[in-house]
Structures are given as structure tokens and as C-alpha cells.
Structure 1
Amino acid sequence: MNRAVETLLRCLLVLCAAGLAVLPTGAIFSDPGWRSPALIMVGLIVVSGGLVRLIPAVARLRLAPLVQLVVALVALPYLCTPHLLAGGILPGPAAYGAVVDQISEGREQVFHTVAPTATTAGFTTMVVLGFAVLVIVLDWCATDLRVPKPAAFIVLLAWLVPVFLAGGLVSTWHFVGAGVAFVLVLLTGYVGRIRVPLTALGAGALALLLGVGLPILLPDVPDTHRNRLGTGDLKVANPFLDLRKDLARQDDTPLLNYTTDAKTPEPVRMTAVADFDGRTWSPEDFTLRNDNAVTAGLPEPESTPAGQTTASRTTFTVRALTGNYLPTVYSPVAVEGAGEDWIYDPKTLAIVGHTGLRADQTYTVDSRTATPEPQELAAAGTADRTRFASELSLPDSLPESVTRTATRVTKGADSAWEKAARIQAYLRSDDFTYSLDAPAQASDSAIADFLRDKRGYCVQFSATMAVLARVEGIPARIAVGYTPGQPDDDGSYTITDRNAHAWPELYFPGSGWVRFEPTPGTGETPPPWTGAQPGDTGQRDEATPTPTAQASESAGGDESAPAVTEEAGPADSTGPAEAAEPDTSAGLPAWLLPCLAAVLVLLVLVLAPRTIRSIRRARRLRDPVDPEAVWSELMALLADYGRPADPAGTVAGATGILCDLTGSDQAATRAVERIGAAVEVSRYGRDSTEKVMDRSTARVAVAGVRAGLRSAAGWPTRFRAEWLRL
């Protein structure tokens, strides 16, 4: 079998195997956002390796892994940080710096999430880089070293990652893909052989099925041991990342049922996220402590100055909801019937457990909900920046357009509460539209885009209000959970995926964490202490009282209360101060840049050998023409087409071979004979008078020999000679 054909066939086997080895990783994630970048990276690495191995010098020196490493490093920012490409085309320091940041971010997220988890930028970068390294090593072992068995174990290494991280989610098809990949890698060792040991391969596949695949087909053994509360790490998913997926399901399957004695049911809260690094919102770490068990009760919430709280008792029944967070009404003070494995975070009052939620589990939550008056919030002082450092933290990458918007919207406000009320009124104005078409992220760039496009859902609304509040010095975090749900005929309420929601919580000294509702279109009315009118749905006009005006009414018509200035209202939303940061992607599809990068890399790899070969030919045939240089070009032509001259042969013998190739082209035959004679004189004659000859003779000889070689060769040989030989 021709060497080039063997190389391409081995490349095809490795490409199929590597692609199949990627697929089981899908068990770790709840969405396929990671898959395309990973598969594109695998394809670029394998294809580039196969092409450069067709170059004899590269194959001989085994430089393909080095080329593949360069390809991977070039492709990484196109696949993982396309929004930071310089001019939207070339990667620069900012793009590579973001790649490093995302790897660090993904490493941290590993310790805060459980499978199946949503795809994040950090996870995507880790997966893409991880498979880049694995595939380079796999291809090196299978193709350069010709040791397919160690290469096949690399496939098993890729398979073990989802087995350990998401064992219960690995499906039969995941195993089939990994098994086929294993066999394909073993087949690379038999490329070019006449006989393939099918019996041995079949026995190996059967052993793989029995030893690795059979366990995933067996039913799970029920766990009869109760996982008592410990002090070790507990991995919990970040629910903020799943909101769009939940909302987009359009599934009416009941997740929770509950009954409550509250006159107006409150949102059902899971946790609060406050850690914002510019790309991802995530819960902060907290230490598991035995004395924070919910069976001992939870701390009383921070009271308002007037001590106004509303007590309620809610009984939950778990249906299809899963996870490690216990749904409650904020603020929970006691939990009954949930079990002994649940603990709480004193800072956020989120309740988490080792064993997680169980279907048909029933428990009761007693809560105290603060109901402050607007004038109490308006009179609140400034929060301690040291105590609330994380809830006031903003990334250095925050676009200036976001800061300008916060300053403009809150201009003239005399208190933190008035600033918060104005931000909520601004986001609930007619300028903004609720839409699930917005991006799933709430990164700083996504917030800037949201303020420009004014379209989004609760992720963008809540994150934007939290960021704008932080800009103005108000501690803010995002609560994640569900709207109160739909009432049933029996007086209970049902919660489905459609009720997934997020809302900001802002801290005011003396009143604690206070809920706001900036998202319109959800049917949720903002609480009265936020300055909203009863029944407000976000559709405001000039006749709607301003937040400060309502505070004045609540305070008994105190005319000294500050009025909302007209320039801070929503009517200025189209002003130049709110111009968003330029979109570097220019509205191009997300997949286009990686595809263009792949095409560019392939073009460089294909054109490089031909370019180098043309430069060498031009140097050999330049004036004044040296017969030895022309002879070297003729010998190189023979080697290009797989017909190298015998190194021990004579010049006369090689001249005869070249003349046979010129065929009926008499001019080319005479030119070859003259060049051969000049070389003999140059090498063996005493008087080397023909060391220099005219350029036209050299060109005629080279053209004639090349035409003869092309006419006698098939298209694969011609392609290799013209495009892949140096």
C-alpha cells in the first residue's frame, strides 16, 4: 500500500476514534454547548497531523505532534474566547488571558457542581484543552510510534472521566461509542497489512464489554445507609446556570407542591449567588458545620427598625425536583420533616444536603419575611464595605457603558433605597422586553449587550440590577428559585419548570436583605417596599407615580422627601450616555469564527510545502545557472513522484532515465543530455568550462521531465508531488 494512502487511512481511523471518545463526556453536562468546540478541536488536530505527515521530512523527524500543538494553541481562543479576538479576527493577549482565566474558573466550578451540570465557559475551555492534549498523545502513539495498544488505553482514560464524575448518567450508547473508538485505535496497527486478526479483535471487544460495559447495564444497588451530616466538602450545582434551560423546557411536570397559610404566597427560594467574576455568577463557598443542622433551627432574620415581619408556615411535597438544595420561603427559621442531613449557610440561609431531594418527600418550613416601609429603607445608612466585600465586588472588565448607565439612572437620588427603586423602575419600563432569546450568560459583556438591546429574561434583569446596585455602593446578590406557582382547586400551589426565576436581593442596614423584582412579563408584582404601585407589571407611563413620590405618600405626605428628577427617568434610555460597548463579533454566528480559523489553518498547512518547494526550484534555476543546481532539481523531481534515482548510479545512467521521461519532446531531451554532460564535466573533467549554462536550457529540461512524470502518475501521486513535497 502506498505510504501516503496508509497515512491518510490511519488518520481517518484516529479521527473517527477520537470523535467517538469525546461523546461520553456528554453524561457530565445537561446541554450540548461544550460538544461543538471539542469536536472541532479534535478534527483540527487529527487532520493537521495527517496532512503534515505526508511531508517526508516531517514524517521522518516525527514533528507532527509539534505542529498539532501549535494548531491547538492557535485554535483555542477561536473556540473558547471568540468575543475577544483582536478586530474579531486574530487572537491577542486578551484572548489568551481569558483562556487562562476560564481554565481557572472551570477548575473552581468543578468543586461546586454535580453532574449533570450546565455548560459554562470554564468547563468548555477545560474540556477543549483536555481533549486537545489527549488526542495529540493518542495520535502520536498510534501513528508515529505505531503502538496502538497504549493509544487505545488513552481512549479508556477519556471514558473513565464521565464514569467517575457522572457514573449514574452514563448510558449504553456512551459505552458503545467508547468501545468502537477503542477498537478503531487498535486497527491502526494493522494498516498496510494483508491480514487483520479479526478473531483477536473480537475477543478484545468482548472482554471490553464484559469488563467495562456490563456494570452500566446492571440495575443500581439501592443505598440503605443514611448519609449522616459530615464536615467534608459537598458538591452542589449552581442553579443560576440552569435557569434558561428550565424556562425553555415548556414542561408542565410538577416539581413541587405546597400549601401555605400566607395571604400572598412568596417566591420559593433555593439559594443566593453573590460571587461574580465577570463571566459567571456562582454561590460562595461555606464550611459544613454540624452545629448548622436545620434540626436545631435557623437564626432569626435581621428585623426592620419597626420589627415588621410576616410569619408563615409552608408545607412542601417534592415531586420531580432533584438536587441538593432544599426549597424554602425566605427567611426560614425552622424546618421539620426534611431529615437530619440538611445544613444551612448562615450567610445566605440556603439549605443543602448530602442525600438531596427525594420524590414524595414532605417537610414544613416556618419563615419570617421582613416587610419594611419605604421610608425605613430610605433612611437606612451605608453598608459596611468590609463586611459585604463579595456582595460589592465588581470585575475589572466591567464595560464603562454599564457604569455610565448606573450613574445616569440614579442621578439625583438621595438614598441607597431611592437608587435601587429607580434602577428597578428603569428595568421595568416599556423600554425593556422579556424574551428567552437572550444569551444564557449574565457576564459583564452580556449585561452591556442587554442594556443596549433591552431584551432578556430574569437572568439578565436580576444580574443587571445587582451589578448597577453594586456600582452605586449597594450590596447585592441574586436569589434563585421559583415564582409562587399556579394555585390548585384544593388551595395548594404547583411549581413547574416554567416558574424558574431569579431576583435580586439588596442589603439595607437595619432591614437586612430585601427582595426586588426588576423582571417584567413574569406576572410577579414588585413588593410594595420597592416603590412599585400595587399590581405593577412593568408597564409604566408618565401618569405612574415615581418611586420617591410613593415613598412620600407612605410617609404621610412628607414634602421634604426628594423628588425623582426627569433626567433620570426611563425617557432618557436612548441617550448617548448609554451606548454599549462595541460588539466585536459584528453579529456573526458563533460557529463561523472557529470554522474560518479551521479553514485558515488548513490552507496554511496545504500551501506551505508547495510554497517552500517553489522557492527552492526558483533558487536552483536562477541566473547564472549552475548545472549541479539544475541536476539537483531534476533529482528532486524524481523523488517527488516516488521514483528516486539510485544514489550509487552514474550520471549517464540517470541521464538516460530522464531522457526516457521526456519522450517525444526532442527539445527537452537535448536539454537533459546537455545538462548531464555539463554535470559530468563539472565533476570529472579537468577543464570545467560548462559550470555555467543558459537558463532557458534548464527550464526546458525541468519542464519536460516534470511533464513526463505527471503523465505517468495517478492523481494521488501528482497531488503529493505538487502540494506536499518539500
Structure 2
Amino acid sequence: VGLGRVPLSGLPLLALYTVPVAALEDGVPFYGFLPGAVCFVALLMADERDRLAHWGKQVTRTVSPAPSPSGMDTSGLAATGRKISLAALTAALVVPIFVPSFSNTLFGHPLGKGQGGGIGTEVTFNDPMVSLASSLRRQDPVDMLSVTSDIQPQYLRLVALDQPGPNAWSARPLDLSTTLSLSDPLPRPTGMSTDVVTQPHNMSISLEDAFPSNSSWLPVPYLLHDVGVGDDWSYVSADQTVTAKTQTAAADLPAYDVSYSTMDPPELLLKTAGATPSEILQRYAEVPVGIPAIVGETARAVTAGATDDYERAQLLQDFFRNRDEFSYDLDTGYGYGYQAMAQFLEERRGFCQHFAATMAMMARTLGIPSRVVVGFLEPERNTGDEFVFTSDNVHSWPELYFEGVGWVRFEPTQGVGAPYPQWAERTAVPTVPTLPTNVPTGPVESTEPKPTVDPKQAASPSSGDGPGDGGFTVSKGWLVPLGGLALLFLPAALRTAVRRSRMTRPLDEAAAAESAWLELRDFIRDLRLPWSGSMTPRARERSVAPLLTDDPDALGALKRLAVSVERARYARSLSPGVTPAADAKTVMGALARRAQTGERVRALLWPASLLPDLRSGWSNLRRRPRRLGGAPTGQ
């Protein structure tokens, strides 16, 4: 406040507030917004009161009957400030309730992901656990990939989701600097030893027109050796996926060749897997706060009697593949988050997202690292060695980690024609476990951190059907440029607000003259024209007059304004018929016409009157005591 630059202090607050608004899926609650807003408004009130009291004259229509001991009665100003502040804060909290929200896929989808029944015509890669259902429900499936291969391709992977969230699983935010170049030999997948038997193969993949041109991921098989895609793509070794380095990478890549291997890990190696490294456990085995207790209780009941993690994983898979207990149903409407797992276990119906996500979380409750992968299951049709994948073939499945083998795929989803993996065949006719009757469906207590949400996720067609989170939401990626634009125009908005307050609010004659004079001063400073030092109004008129040469109207307005300020300070009344605000506008208009376009733009976007002169401000703050009132200084 002492530096007179309170409005600019709002810029750091705005920057700090923008980060959680952009990062958190549900935004910032009102109790996170209100304290900062109240403090900022209090600073504005104190600054304005100090600024007006600096002249030693109360800005009011009436005369205070008893002067304040500090030199000025500011109770009227404080009361007005409190009313305005209360109205502004109330509007900030109430108005958003009635403003339609936008979903985080508005700019990534032609349609939303609410409860409607409309199906979009385009396919995009976003919100894998939510909008993947839209792909499976399409009435007109579209071709996505054409693959030439020596064997039937299956389980082409797009993205690995390792962060369970309250609404859906998501991928971890990706740092491209940690990815590997595809021109170099690719390492074996994490945790895979040389004891795992592999068989090399090759395939050529062509992207059809319906494949998103802005895709961040490429469909590839597991255990890659080489991918012929050039420098616009890189390898994510932790996920065994291929990600784009530019937004147009997929548009410039009609086809690519892949060399890879299939694997057949021996049962003995899975049953005798070594101890899982701590970094794997920390990243892939944490059970977040909010997971319903029924998930862990069911997992323990299903795997009771198992002697190792491999057997537990098989029993979990068999549990979901039991057709007498679970059914494949695309019409379920309970979402894909924490509570959806409880509903899925209770109602025993769902589709691939529910099977994969619930098995992965049940594995975590047993201490087995897990993740969910989204990609393509099997081709829809083929002619010889040419295979075609459509939007109907989008699928998700869980992968569990076994030291010495690495990430192992399981297939809990029934009803899609997917066979059991050869390393996890059905062990026996599954029995239905006897579950505890008092298992709560509410969240289980946990001290683990709540995961963040990654804006880059997997493939699904845009759609307005499916059990989404309802409504349209604005893409997080657009918040960055929008926030940048807001910061760019914030100084102009603040300066406009100050000008409007000075020139339009009702004031008595003396206060109106002072406000017009202050506005002329700041306007001249914004244009980077000279206005420095302390001068009387007449002296200031003489210093400004050379800027208005050959403009008699502006010179006359400047003279009237200077006389008005002089009479306001010493005669307490103005000359009859003068309008200080109009005179100030005349002078400012003449100065603006003489300025160059670049100077006017600079004055608008970054007004110098809002920039803090720290050296002068600090010097003034140390020289004079802080108080309200006092004699006016010449301007």
C-alpha cells in the first residue's frame, strides 16, 4: 500500500490461482478462493483510502461535523468500500453457479461426453476410460488401422494408465526429455529377464483417415525392437509405448513398419518371481484414498488359499470370466471411478473398462503392481495377411508386474471373444467366493496421496453418449493460452477501471477536479511523456503546454483544468460552468492523436502508471510517516 501499487500485487495472486484451476479436474473450491480474494480487496480498500486521504480533504458530499484526530474522517469511505467489496465477492461466488460449465474435451471433441445419445463423427484420443465406451457403441464403426503381418495382430497398445482417479484411470504426465529416440536400439521392457522365451515378428501399420491426425500415441505391439516413424516420435520405456513429439506427427505419418517379439513366459518363472523393486511398488501398487472397501474385501475373498501372486492373478481373472456371475453390458451408467468399481462388483455387469480397472485395483489391494492399457484388441476382418482394425476393436486390459518377466497381460473381460492368455489359462471351473455380508461400499481409509490427472490420454471417438461426468468442459490445454491472454490484458483492464472510476463517479467539484488532474497525470505517464517532480498546477500547465502546440482547444482545456485544481485546493469552489472531466478528456485526446500507434498500444497494454517505481516508492515510504491526512503535495 505504501508504494501505491496494490493492483499489480494481484498479478502474482492470479498466477498462483491459475495453476490449480488448470490442474485440478474439479477446479478450486470457494474456500480456497475466498481468503485470497478478501485479502486482495482489503488491500485495494486501504490503498484507495490512503490515496484519497493523501490530499487532506474528504471526498464526500457532506461536511463531517467533527474532524478525525488523524486529520480526516474515513468512515464513509470504509463503509462504501465494504459494500462494494461484499457485492463483488458475492457475485464472484454466486455467478459461476449459474454459468454453464465446460468439459475438458470441448476442443478435443465435436460433441460432449454427457448423458445424451448422440454419436460424434470424428475419432479423437482423449479421456480413455470415459469415451472409449462411445467407440464401442457407435452405430457406424469406422476403419482405424490396416495391418500387414505374418501372424494375426492383437493387443496393439496405445497408452498405459497407471494413475487411478475418482472419475477414471489416467496416464501419468509425460516429460519428453525422459523418452528415448526410436533411432536407437530399444531396451527390453522393465523387469524382463533373458529367461523369457520370445519370437520375433514384423508388421506394417497404415493409419486410416479416421485415425486422429493430432494423436499423441501410436498403436504398437508389446516388446518392441524397432519402429520406423522418424524423429517426430519417441519411446516411453516405462510404459512400452510410442508418443508424439509434435502435434502434427500423426498427420505426417500415413504408415510405419514395426519389428517386435511375442513372448511366452513359463509358469515357473511367474510363480517364482523375485521381489518387486521399491520404485515399481511406489508407482504402481499404491491404493489411493477413496477406494471402496468392497474392492479389497472381494479381492481377498476371491484369492483366499492362493500361495503366490501369479495364482492370485489367475484367480482374479477367472473370477471375472465366470459367465454365471458377470455379464458384458455396454449400457451400464455408473462411470469408471472409485465408486463405479463398487457398483460393478455389486451389479456384476459392465464392459472392458470396468473389468480392467477393477481387476487392476483389486490386484493393488493384494500388493501386486498393476496398470490399465488402452489399445486395440483384435482385427475386425482380414484378407490373407492384411488385417483391419475398426473403432469397434478399441479395448482396455490390465497388466500386472512380475519381477523377472515384467509386465504381463491378463484378460478379465468376457463377451468380446478374447481368449485367455497362453500363460494364464483358466485353472479350473471357478467358484463364487463367499463375500462378507458387512462389507462397506464406502471409501477405505488410506494415507496415500491422491493422484493427479494427466491431460494426455488414450483413444476414443467423440461422443455425446455414455456415462460421462456430464456437461461440456474446457480442455486444460486451452487454459494456458487463455491465462496468458488474461495476464496480457489485465493491466489494461485495471487501468480502464481506474480511469472510469475517476471520470464517471459522482463527486463534489473539488474532488472531481483532483480526480481529472490525476487521470491526466497517469495518461501522460502511460504515453511515456514527462511528468515528474512536484509542481503547482500553473507550473505543470506550462510544462505540458509544449506537448499541445497548435491545438488551441486542448491548450484552453489544459488551462481551465489547472485553474480548477488550483481553486479546488485553495478556494474550495470552481469557476462557474467548468467541467474538469471534459477538459481532461480534451487534453488526453489531443495527446493521443499526436502519439504514434505503437506508443498508444504500449500505453494501453502496459500502462506505466501501474508500474511500481520501487526505488522512489521505498524512499518515500522511509521519509514520511504512515498516516491518514496531512497537507497536499504539489502535483
What TM-score results when the alignment is normalised by the length of structure 1? 0.44
Once residues 298 and 531 of structure 1 are traced to their aligned partners in structure 2, the CA distance between those partners, rounded to angstroms, is 30
Letter in 2 for 1:445: Q
8 Å contact from structure 1 (residues 314, 365) kept in 2: yes
Once residues 465 and 308 of structure 1 are traced to their aligned partners in structure 2, the CA distance between those partners, rounded to angstroms, is 26
Residue among 244, 254, 259 paired with 2:133: 244
Counterpart for residue 235 of structure 2: 344
1:418 CA displacement: 0.6
SS state of the match for residue 421, structure 1?
helix
Q: Does residue 478 of the first structure (1) align with residue 366 of the second (2)?
A: no
Q: 1:578 to 1:321 in 2, by over 3 A?
A: farther
The structure richer in helix per residue is 1
1:459 CA displacement: 0.7
Residue pairs, 1:90-109, within 5 angstroms: none
Q: 1:577 to 1:410 in 2, by over 3 A?
A: farther
SS state of the match for residue 395, structure 1?
coil
SS state of the match for residue 217, structure 2?
coil
SS state of the match for residue 176, structure 2?
coil
Counterpart for residue 45 of structure 2: none
Residue among 261, 269, 273 paired with 2:157: 269
Residue among 329, 341, 346 paired with 2:221: 329
Counterpart for residue 576 of structure 1: 437
Counterpart for residue 641 of structure 1: none
8 Å contact from structure 1 (residues 298, 333) kept in 2: yes
Q: Does residue 438 of the first structure (1) align with residue 438 of the second (2)?
A: no
Residue deviations 1:279-328 (CA, integer Å, cap 9, x gap): 33111123213971212232123545633012211110100211121111
1:265 CA displacement: 2.7
What TM-score results when the alignment is normalised by the length of structure 2? 0.50
Counterpart for residue 115 of structure 1: 108
Q: 1:333 to 1:246 in 2, by over 3 A?
A: same
Residue pairs, 1:543-692, within 5 angstroms: 545=428, 570-572=431-433, 576=437, 580-581=441-442
Q: 1:253 to 1:572 in 2, by over 3 A?
A: same
1:330 CA displacement: 0.9
Give me the CA root mean square deviation.
Answer: 3.8
Q: 1:282 to 1:114 in 2, by over 3 A?
A: farther
Q: Does residue 469 of the first structure (1) align with residue 363 of the second (2)?
A: yes
Once residues 290 and 427 of structure 1 are traced to their aligned partners in structure 2, the CA distance between those partners, rounded to angstroms, is 36
Once residues 116 and 363 of structure 1 are traced to their aligned partners in structure 2, the CA distance between those partners, rounded to angstroms, is 26
Q: Does residue 421 of the first structure (1) align with residue 414 of the second (2)?
A: no
Aligned residues: 353
Once residues 296 and 116 of structure 1 are traced to their aligned partners in structure 2, the CA distance between those partners, rounded to angstroms, is 35
Which sits farther off after the overlay, 267-276 or 439-448? 439-448
Letter in 2 for 1:300: R
1:400 CA displacement: 1.1
The structure richer in strand per residue is 2
Residue among 258, 264, 267 paired with 1:371: 264
Q: 1:439 to 1:309 in 2, by over 3 A?
A: farther
8 Å contact from structure 1 (residues 251, 498) kept in 2: no
Letter in 1 for 2:416: T
Q: Does residue 498 of the first structure (1) align with residue 389 of the second (2)?
A: no
Q: 1:450 to 1:490 in 2, by over 3 A?
A: same
Q: 1:516 to 1:292 in 2, by over 3 A?
A: same
Once residues 286 and 178 of structure 2 are traced to their aligned partners in structure 1, the CA distance between those partners, rounded to angstroms, is 30
8 Å contact from structure 1 (residues 480, 503) kept in 2: yes
Counterpart for residue 510 of structure 2: none
SS state of the match for residue 329, structure 1?
coil
Q: 1:385 to 1:117 in 2, by over 3 A?
A: farther
1:75 CA displacement: 8.2
1:493 CA displacement: 1.1
Once residues 401 and 118 of structure 1 are traced to their aligned partners in structure 2, the CA distance between those partners, rounded to angstroms, is 35
Once residues 166 and 287 of structure 2 are traced to their aligned partners in structure 1, the CA distance between those partners, rounded to angstroms, is 7
SS state of the match for residue 299, structure 1?
coil
8 Å contact from structure 1 (residues 409, 426) kept in 2: yes
8 Å contact from structure 1 (residues 260, 313) kept in 2: yes
Q: Does residue 389 of the first structure (1) align with residue 282 of the second (2)?
A: yes
Greater relative contact order, per chain length (Cα 8 Å cut-off, separation 6+): 2
Residue deviations 1:244-284 (CA, integer Å, cap 9, x gap): 1211223332110101113x432111111101233331111
Once residues 116 and 284 of structure 1 are traced to their aligned partners in structure 2, the CA distance between those partners, rounded to angstroms, is 22
8 Å contact from structure 2 (residues 162, 284) kept in 1: yes
Once residues 241 and 118 of structure 1 are traced to their aligned partners in structure 2, the CA distance between those partners, rounded to angstroms, is 13
Residue deviations 1:590-629 (CA, integer Å, cap 9, x gap): 99x99xxxxxxxxxxxxxxxxxxxxxxxxxxxxxxxxxxx
Residue among 401, 407, 413 paired with 1:507: 401
Q: 1:252 to 1:435 in 2, by over 3 A?
A: same
8 Å contact from structure 1 (residues 318, 359) kept in 2: no
Once residues 454 and 481 of structure 1 are traced to their aligned partners in structure 2, the CA distance between those partners, rounded to angstroms, is 24
8 Å contact from structure 1 (residues 405, 577) kept in 2: no
1:573 CA displacement: 5.7
SS state of the match for residue 272, structure 1?
strand
Once residues 394 and 340 of structure 2 are traced to their aligned partners in structure 1, the CA distance between those partners, rounded to angstroms, is 20
8 Å contact from structure 1 (residues 462, 503) kept in 2: yes
SS state of the match for residue 143, structure 2?
coil
Once residues 290 and 385 of structure 1 are traced to their aligned partners in structure 2, the CA distance between those partners, rounded to angstroms, is 20
Letter in 1 for 2:349: R
Once residues 413 and 242 of structure 1 are traced to their aligned partners in structure 2, the CA distance between those partners, rounded to angstroms, is 36
Residue deviations 1:15-38 (CA, integer Å, cap 9, x gap): xxxxxxxxxxxxxxxxxx99xxxx
8 Å contact from structure 1 (residues 438, 455) kept in 2: yes
Residue deviations 1:305-357 (CA, integer Å, cap 9, x gap): 63301221111010021112111111211012x23210111100211111232
Once residues 577 and 259 of structure 1 are traced to their aligned partners in structure 2, the CA distance between those partners, rounded to angstroms, is 53
Q: 1:577 to 1:524 in 2, by over 3 A?
A: farther
Once residues 138 and 441 of structure 2 are traced to their aligned partners in structure 1, the CA distance between those partners, rounded to angstroms, is 31
8 Å contact from structure 2 (residues 381, 389) kept in 1: no
SS state of the match for residue 397, structure 1?
coil
Counterpart for residue 402 of structure 1: 295
8 Å contact from structure 2 (residues 291, 442) kept in 1: no
SS state of the match for residue 452, structure 1?
helix
Letter in 1 for 2:156: V
Letter in 2 for 1:370: M
Once residues 333 and 118 of structure 1 are traced to their aligned partners in structure 2, the CA distance between those partners, rounded to angstroms, is 38
Residue deviations 1:672-722 (CA, integer Å, cap 9, x gap): xxxxxxxxxxxxxxxxxxxxxxxxxxxxxxxxxxxxxxxxxxxxxxxxxxx
Residue deviations 1:405-435 (CA, integer Å, cap 9, x gap): 1111111111000111101100111211111
8 Å contact from structure 1 (residues 251, 496) kept in 2: no
Residue deviations 1:109-154 (CA, integer Å, cap 9, x gap): 89xx972399689xxxxxxxxxxxxxxxxxxxxxxxxxxxxxxxxx
Residue deviations 1:377-397 (CA, integer Å, cap 9, x gap): 111133123333121121111
8 Å contact from structure 2 (residues 113, 131) kept in 1: no
Once residues 374 and 444 of structure 1 are traced to their aligned partners in structure 2, the CA distance between those partners, rounded to angstroms, is 32
SS state of the match for residue 250, structure 1?
coil
1:403 CA displacement: 1.3
Once residues 117 and 384 of structure 1 are traced to their aligned partners in structure 2, the CA distance between those partners, rounded to angstroms, is 43
Counterpart for residue 199 of structure 2: 310
Residue pairs, 1:268-307, within 5 angstroms: 268-289=156-177, 292-301=180-189, 302-304=191-193, 306-307=195-196
Structure 1 gap ranges (5+):
1-32, 35-60, 81-102, 122-168, 170-234, 534-544, 547-568, 583-589, 595-726
8 Å contact from structure 1 (residues 251, 497) kept in 2: no
Letter in 1 for 2:141: D
1:438 CA displacement: 2.1
Once residues 510 and 374 of structure 1 are traced to their aligned partners in structure 2, the CA distance between those partners, rounded to angstroms, is 12
Once residues 192 and 263 of structure 2 are traced to their aligned partners in structure 1, the CA distance between those partners, rounded to angstroms, is 7
Q: 1:120 to 1:401 in 2, by over 3 A?
A: farther
Once residues 260 and 375 of structure 1 are traced to their aligned partners in structure 2, the CA distance between those partners, rounded to angstroms, is 31
Q: 1:401 to 1:366 in 2, by over 3 A?
A: same
8 Å contact from structure 2 (residues 168, 337) kept in 1: yes
Once residues 240 and 369 of structure 1 are traced to their aligned partners in structure 2, the CA distance between those partners, rounded to angstroms, is 27
8 Å contact from structure 1 (residues 278, 395) kept in 2: no
Counterpart for residue 380 of structure 1: 273
Q: Does residue 253 of the first structure (1) align with residue 114 of the second (2)?
A: no
1:483 CA displacement: 0.9
